[in-house]
Amino acid sequence: MRRSIDVIYLGVATATAIVIAIAAAIVLALSIESSGVLAREGLGFVLSPRWSPSEERYGFYGVALPLVGTLAVGVQATAIAIALSVAAVVYLHEYAPRRVREAIGIAMFAMAALPTVVFGMWGLSAVAPLVREAGLGSLCARGSPTGQSVFTAALVVGLMLTPYASSVVSAAYDAVPFTYVEALHSLGAMGFERARVLLGMVKRSIAAAALLSFGRAVGETTIVALTIGSAFNLPLCPFEPAHTVSSLIASQYGNAFLYPGLTSALSAAALLLLAASAATTALGARIARAAVARGGEA
C-alpha cells in the first residue's frame, strides 16, 4: 500500500513539474523573442497607437489600440456573462421546477463543451447580421457596415462564458449554510427576496466569477477574430470594429516573417496578454478559495 502511494505521488509530482516547466518555457521563449521590440520601442510599445509594419525597414509597433479593444471586449463580455449567470442561478434555485433545473443544467454543460470556433461561426453568421440589420452601426461615427464590432464580439464571448460563471456562482449559492436559508424561510422570505439576501452573502464568489470570466475573455481568440471586424480603431462606441491583442496576433502572425520586427512585436503582445490573463485568473481563483474557506459567506 505504501509503495502504491509513493508511485502515485511520484507520478503527480512529475506531471506537476512538467506543467510548470512548460509554462516557464513559454514565458522564457516569449520574453526572448519580444526583447528586440521592447528594447527598441520601450514604453512606447504599450502607449503608442501606431502599428505600421514595413517590408523594407523596421516598422512602428504600438499596441495601445488593441489593448483598449481587449479591455472593451473583456469588460462588456464579463458584464454580460455575470448578469446572465446570476439571473440563471436565481431562476434555477428559486423558481424552476426540479426537472427544468436538471434540463437547463445539462444544456449548460453541453454549451460549455462547445468549441469556441462554433460560437465564432454562429456570431459571424447570426449575431453580426442582426446587429447590421438593426442599424446599430449608425449610432457610431465609424460604425461597422458588416455588424462585426466590439459589441458583437463581447456578446458572443459573454454567452460563451456564461456556463463557467454560472458554475462558480451556483456552487457558492449552494454552499450557503442551510441555517441561513431556514432563517429566511421563517421570516417569510421567498423568491427574489430570499435570492437578494443570499446573493449578498456570496458576493465574493460573484466577484471571483467576474475576474475568472475577464481573464478568459481577454485571451479569447477565435470568437473575437471572427466577430470584431479587425480594424485599428479606438473603440469609443461599442458598435465600431476594432482589434484586440489576441485577434491582432491571430491575423498577422502567419506572415510576420515578411516584416522586420513584427514577430518580436507580436511576441511582446502575447507576453502582455499572458500576464494580464494570468493575473486576473490568479486573483479570481484566490477570491474563490477565500469564499469557499468562509463557507460561502461574504
Within this chain, do residues 30 and 162 fall inside the same structural domain, yes or no? no
Total domain count for the chain?
A: 2
In this prediction, residue 173 carries a pLDDT of 85
With a pLDDT cut of 70, the percent of the chain lying above it is 95
Task: Kindly tell me if the per-residue pLDDT of 297 is higher than 90.
Answer: no
Task: Kindly tell me if the per-residue pLDDT of 208 is higher than 50.
Answer: yes
Provide the residue type at 140 as one letter. Answer: C
In this prediction, residue 111 carries a pLDDT of 87
pLDDT single digits (tens) 63-116: 999 999 999 999 999 999 999 999 999 898 888 888 888 888 888 888 888 899
Within this chain, do residues 140 and 238 fall inside the same structural domain, yes or no? yes
Please compute Rg for the chain using Cα positions.
22
In this prediction, residue 22 carries a pLDDT of 92
In this prediction, residue 2 carries a pLDDT of 58
In this prediction, residue 298 carries a pLDDT of 47
In this prediction, residue 294 carries a pLDDT of 60
Determine, yes or no, domain membership for 42. yes
Determine, yes or no, domain membership for 195. yes
Determine, yes or no, domain membership for 208. yes
Q: What is the pTM of this model?
A: 0.87
With a pLDDT cut of 90, the percent of the chain lying above it is 38
Within this chain, do residues 43 and 140 fall inside the same structural domain, yes or no? no
Provide the residue type at 122 as one letter. Answer: W
pLDDT single digits (tens) 241-272: 999 999 999 989 888 888 888 999 999 999 99
User: Residue 284 in contact with residue 204, Cβ under 8 Å?
Assistant: no
| Residue 253 belongs to domain with CATH number | 1.10.3720.10
Determine, yes or no, domain membership for 14. yes
Confidence of residue 157 (pLDDT cuts 50, 70, 90): very high
In this prediction, residue 71 carries a pLDDT of 94
In this prediction, residue 107 carries a pLDDT of 87
d(CA 78, CA 208): 11
Task: Give backbone dihedrals phi and psi of 289, rounded to 5 degrees, phi first.
Answer: -65, -40
Its domain, for residue 273, covers: 65-293
Residues 105-133 have a mean pLDDT of: 91
Residues 131-143 have a mean pLDDT of: 87
Within this chain, do residues 47 and 72 fall inside the same structural domain, yes or no? no
Determine, yes or no, domain membership for 57. no
Within this chain, do residues 22 and 130 fall inside the same structural domain, yes or no? no
Q: Measured over all CA atoms, what is the biggest interatomic distance in the chain, rounded to whole angstroms?
A: 77
Determine, yes or no, domain membership for 60. no
Name the more confident of 200 and 177: 200
Confidence of residue 7 (pLDDT cuts 50, 70, 90): confident
Mean pLDDT, the chain, as a whole number? Answer: 87
Determine, yes or no, domain membership for 201. yes
Name the more confident of 142 and 217: 217
| Block residue for cell numbers 475568472 | 212
Within this chain, do residues 115 and 213 fall inside the same structural domain, yes or no? yes
Residues 49-65 have a mean pLDDT of: 87
Within this chain, do residues 154 and 272 fall inside the same structural domain, yes or no? yes
Task: Kindly tell me if the per-residue pLDDT of 4 is higher than 90.
Answer: no
Within this chain, do residues 91 and 190 fall inside the same structural domain, yes or no? yes
Within this chain, do residues 32 and 136 fall inside the same structural domain, yes or no? no
Within this chain, do residues 250 and 122 fall inside the same structural domain, yes or no? yes
Provide the residue type at 113 as one letter. Answer: A
Name the more confident of 176 and 34: 34
Within this chain, do residues 31 and 177 fall inside the same structural domain, yes or no? no
Within this chain, do residues 260 and 289 fall inside the same structural domain, yes or no? yes
Task: Give backbone dihedrals phi and psi of 242, rounded to 5 degrees, phi first.
Answer: -160, -170
Confidence of residue 1 (pLDDT cuts 50, 70, 90): low
Task: Kindly tell me if the per-residue pLDDT of 189 is higher than 80.
Answer: no
In this prediction, residue 256 carries a pLDDT of 85
